[in-house]
Structure formats: C-alpha cells, structure tokens
Amino acid sequence: MLPTFISDKFRFWSFVSMVLLVFVHGYNLEERYLQPWSLVGDALTLSSFTEYFLANGILRFRIPMLFLISGYLYALHDQTPNRIRIKKRVRTLLLPYLLWSGLCLLLMFWLETFAITRGWIAASHIAQIDETRALVHEYGVGETIVRWIFAPLPYQLWFIRVLFFYNLAYPLLRNWVTGRTSARVFFSIAVFLWLATAGLYFAEGEGLLFFSLGVWMQKSAFNIEKPAGWLKPLRWAMVFVFAAALKTWLAFRGFVLIGNGVFPLMVLLHKLTIASGLVAVWYGADALVRWCMNRRAFVWLTSFSFIIYAVHAPWVAILIDPTFDLLGRGPGYQMLTFIFLPLSIIAFAVMFGAVLRRLWPAAYRILTGGRGI
C-alpha cells in the first residue's frame, strides 16, 4: 500500500501532467510541431519567448512524469501475474485507444461535410495523409484502417500504445532493472536512446527510460518521499529554469551564432530541463500538492484526467487558426490563444466528462477504462 500522501502526489501530478499536455499541444508559434531542437520562425518578443519557454521547456517534464508514475504503480502489484494484468490492460488501455481513435475519425468525417470546419481541418494538416490529400473523406479503406489502428488522428494516443507494450514487456524490464550488472547495461542503453530522442512504433527512448526508472524505484525502495542530499529541489529548480531559458534563447538566436551546432546543444538542454524539472517539481511542490488535494473541487477535477487527455487533441491544434481569426490577430493574439484555447478545451472536456458520467456511466466506464468512476 502506498502512503496516503504519495498516493495523493501520484494523482495530483497525473492530473497536472494531463492539463499541461493541452498547453504544450496548444503551442502556436512557427513551426508548430515541436521537437527538442525546434527553432522559432517568429520574432523574439516577450510573448513568443514566454510561449516557447513554457511549451518546449518548463512544461516538458509531464510525459516523463506520467511514465515514471505508470512504471512505479505497475511494479507495485507484482502479486498478480502479468498475464492477468495484461488482460485487464486490454480493457483499460487498448479498448479506449481504439474507441477514441475511431470516434475521432467519425467526428472528423462528419465535420468535413461543413464548409467552415472542412477548411479548418484542411488548414491544420492534422488529417493529411500525403501531399495532395488533407481530409478524411479522401482516405481509402486501407488508409482509414491504418489511421484507426496504427496512426490515430488523436496523436496523443501514442502514449497508450507504448505504455501497453511496456506493460507487456514488464517481466523482462523488471529483471533487467533489478540485476546489478544488467541494470547498468540496460540503463546505459536507455539513457542513450533517450538522449538520441529515439522513436520506434512500440517503444521510444523517453517512455522506455522513465517507465523502467519507475519500476526500478519501486523495486529498489528508492525514497520518493524525501530527497537525498543530491536531490535537494531548490538547486534543481535553478537548473530547471536556467536550462529552459537558455534553450529558449537559442531557439531564437542560436542558429545565427553557431549554425548547426545549435541542434545538439538544444537537445542536451532539453534533456537537462526534463531531468531537473522532474526532481524540482516532485520534491519541491509538496505544499502545493497538500493544499490542492485538501480541496474537494480540485479532487473532483482530478477524476477527469483521462477525459482531458482523450478529448483535447487534435481539436486544440485545429482550432488555433480559427481562434486567431476570432481575436482579429490583434496585439497579443498568440499568447491569448495559448492561454485561453487550452483552458476552454479543458473546461469542455470536464463538462463533457461530468455529463457523460452522470447520464451514461456505462459508456463513461468503457471510454475511460474505468478511470474516474
């Protein structure tokens, strides 16, 4: 059994990570598809600096945090054979994955029958399958199946796909990370893959490292309640902010100064931001966690973490340009969109989840894999 406060921290950071995910996906500078080494096509202003600093810096710890929590919690239940747990994961991971992917395809298909929303979808390139086809209506049968099963329009579902694979491979991962020699070899490889931003369909560097690290923490009785001397959060928070700020400045000015050398430097700063951010927020925000988890309204909100995750994309990306137009592309329109579009989508997701849970609990249970009931 987890101590109550650690359980609260897991729930708090799972919810916060889902919320932050919406803001990262709401990034609206050019180019919008973020990589660790992404440069910025917009002019350097306080607004553009702040948006990149948050979306591709400070907020980037969220996915590693989710993998860490997932690995730790999965390792906590070894009393149940993995084959039995995998059967449950089919219901709690794979079924929601297929349902949300299919529902998004159907909704996108329907929205494409209206001129305005069809234009939004085409302009966003979210549904684009090649250089000439940017709409779901233009897919063939095989391409529709591929989109549904292997390349969902709700692009955030990749997390569920690789998490299921790590659960499937858990017995191997557990053996590798708990052996003295094998752990050194495994984590050396995992860290290399993480630094290289390696990505395979069923596994990628970030998830592999942090899910396995969560497993190791649980099996090694690593102290996740109080930091060791080298994990004091204040010094890590300083590194966290400095690394994110320097990387952000390089995204605007680095290529002019050092050319292609900026890209590996930005990758290293990106990884340093993630690692330092995890330490800083996990050990340094206990007072905030206690305050929030003592509020009934906040605890109620945390039950909708999965709905926020499932609902927000690709709509947050599709609605960026329409929101620009709504604001008249006037002063500060990008920052206003970066703030208020994600907040609006989060509010919609919570309201949708609350209504569905109240009126049709069976459907809510299936769509969320039993989460938030």
Comparing CA positions, the residue from 194, 256, 266 lying closest to residue 37 is 266
Q: What is the pLDDT of residue 369?
A: 97
Cα angle value 27/14/344 (rounded, 5°) = 40
Distance in angstroms (rounded) separating the CA atoms of residues 178 and 193:
20
Q: What is the pLDDT of residues 312-321, one digit of tens each?
A: 999 999 999 9
Ranges under pLDDT 50 in the chain: none
Q: What is the pLDDT of residue 203?
A: 86
Distance in angstroms (rounded) separating the CA atoms of residues 78 and 330:
56
Q: What is the pLDDT of residue 250?
A: 98
Q: What is the pLDDT of residue 373?
A: 84
**Model pTM score:** 0.96
Q: What is the pLDDT of residue 303?
A: 97
Q: What is the pLDDT of residue 201?
A: 86
What 3-state class would DSSP assign to 199? strand
Q: What is the pLDDT of residues 155-200, one digit of tens each?
A: 999 999 999 999 999 999 999 999 989 999 999 999 999 999 988 8
Q: What is the pLDDT of residue 222?
A: 94
Distance of CA 309 to the CA centre of its chain: 8
Q: What is the pLDDT of residue 199?
A: 85
- Residue 71, C-beta contacts closer than 8 angstroms, at least 6 positions apart: 166, 210, 211, 212, 213, 214, 215, 217, 218
Q: What is the pLDDT of residue 217?
A: 97
